[in-house]
Amino acid sequence: MTDKIAIIGFGNIANAIITPLLDKKLIHPENIFCVVNSGKSVENIKKNYPYNINVYKSGSKESKIIWGCQYKLLSIKPQQLNDINEAQHIKNKDNLIVSILAGVSINRLNKKFPNHKCVRVVPNIPITIGKGLSGIAWGEEITKDQKQFTKKLFENTSKVYEFPEDYLDIFLALTSSGPAIIALIIEALSDGGLGGGLPKILSEELVMEMILGTISLIKEKKITTAELKNLVTSPGGTTISALRVLEEKSVRSALIESIISASNRSKEFC
């Protein structure tokens, strides 16, 4: 892929992005330079991470080596962005920042890293098991090689979509906030099974298998969600009775508004 990659922050998502590249020998461990926030994190990575990468504590003299790497993955918490100062001294315009910071715009990245080209990526949590979705918005003057590098970072663990940056907030709401909403729905449906007399573990298993089967049916038969609903809804039957309750409780509206709210919240961070 490239000679060196710097990783600023090494949480679950960064781990999920980098580890498959090492597994496939697309980059060597000695060419990974990682900076983390505490000495404890340094020791934890050195002790438990399966590859012998270079890892340093933020603010240490040794950590400045990352600014000599052409490619950098920025994966700290958004509120830690203001703590980064070394980037101002970089003069090579070929340097690239790939940011996965939620809600941090390319414009803000450009101001923070004036001597870098900046890319904004929104991955979601299933990336940690290789089933993620990643939305990419390109900053100005990004080269073909830089685009290729960025895509390779994420293609091993997610489906990659290229968007105008205006799409990323709603993409984040659907794909990054969405898993929590789906988890809530699974929990609620399984509690319904519990209320009907099923053991909790069995009820939750049935709900998850039902959801997986429903998704497979829609995709394999190439039918719409409305068509599927009509397939299982008969006059005066159990399904229409359930759907009536959901409509009376405005569940559809609540789900729509939850996504819009998450998107608006993301825009506030920008």
Q: What is the pLDDT of residues 195-254, one digit of tens each?
A: 999 999 999 999 999 999 999 999 999 999 999 999 999 999 999 999 999 999 999 999
Give tens-digit pLDDT for 40-64. 999 999 999 999 999 999 888 888 8
Do 143 and 60 sit in the same domain of this protein? yes
CA dihedral 186, 192, 197, 199 (to 10 degrees): 20
Confidence of residue 268 (pLDDT cuts 50, 70, 90): confident
Residue % of the chain over a pLDDT of 90:
80
Question: Above 70 in pLDDT, residue 101?
Answer: yes
Where does a domain end: 133, 163, 193?
Answer: 163
Classify residue 60 by its DSSP letter: S
Do 146 and 238 sit in the same domain of this protein? no
> What is the overall mean pLDDT for the chain?
93
CB atoms within 10 A of CB 264: 12
Do 62 and 129 sit in the same domain of this protein? yes
The pLDDT, as a whole number, for residue 89 is 54
Do 76 and 129 sit in the same domain of this protein? yes
Domains: count for the chain: 2
Confidence of residue 122 (pLDDT cuts 50, 70, 90): very high
Do 10 and 143 sit in the same domain of this protein? yes
- What is the extent of the structural domain holding 246? 171-269
Average pLDDT over residues 124-151: 95
The pLDDT, as a whole number, for residue 29 is 95
Where does a domain end: 134, 163, 192?
Answer: 163
Task: Supply the CATH number for residue 93's domain.
Answer: 3.40.50.720
CA dihedral 55, 3, 15, 45 (to 10 degrees): -20
Question: Above 60 in pLDDT, residue 270?
Answer: yes
Do 234 and 141 sit in the same domain of this protein? no
Give tens-digit pLDDT for 139-193. 989 999 999 999 999 998 999 999 999 999 999 999 999 999 999 999 999 999 9
Where does a domain end: 163, 196, 218?
Answer: 163
Strand partners, 136: 121, 162
Give tens-digit pLDDT for 29-40. 999 999 999 999
Do 37 and 136 sit in the same domain of this protein? yes
Confidence of residue 1 (pLDDT cuts 50, 70, 90): low
Task: Supply the CATH number for residue 259's domain.
Answer: 1.10.3730.10
The pLDDT, as a whole number, for residue 90 is 59
Confidence of residue 107 (pLDDT cuts 50, 70, 90): very high
Q: Where are the beta strands (DSSP E) in 116-179?
A: 117-123, 132-138, 158-162
Question: Above 60 in pLDDT, residue 67?
Answer: yes
Instruction: Give residue 60's identity as a one-letter amino acid code.
Output: S
CA distance 246 to 190: 16
Do 104 and 177 sit in the same domain of this protein? no
CB atoms within 10 A of CB 261: 12
Least Cα distance to 121 among 87, 79, 93, 152 occurs for 152
Please name the residue that has the structure tokens 């490239």.
2
Do 57 and 83 sit in the same domain of this protein? yes
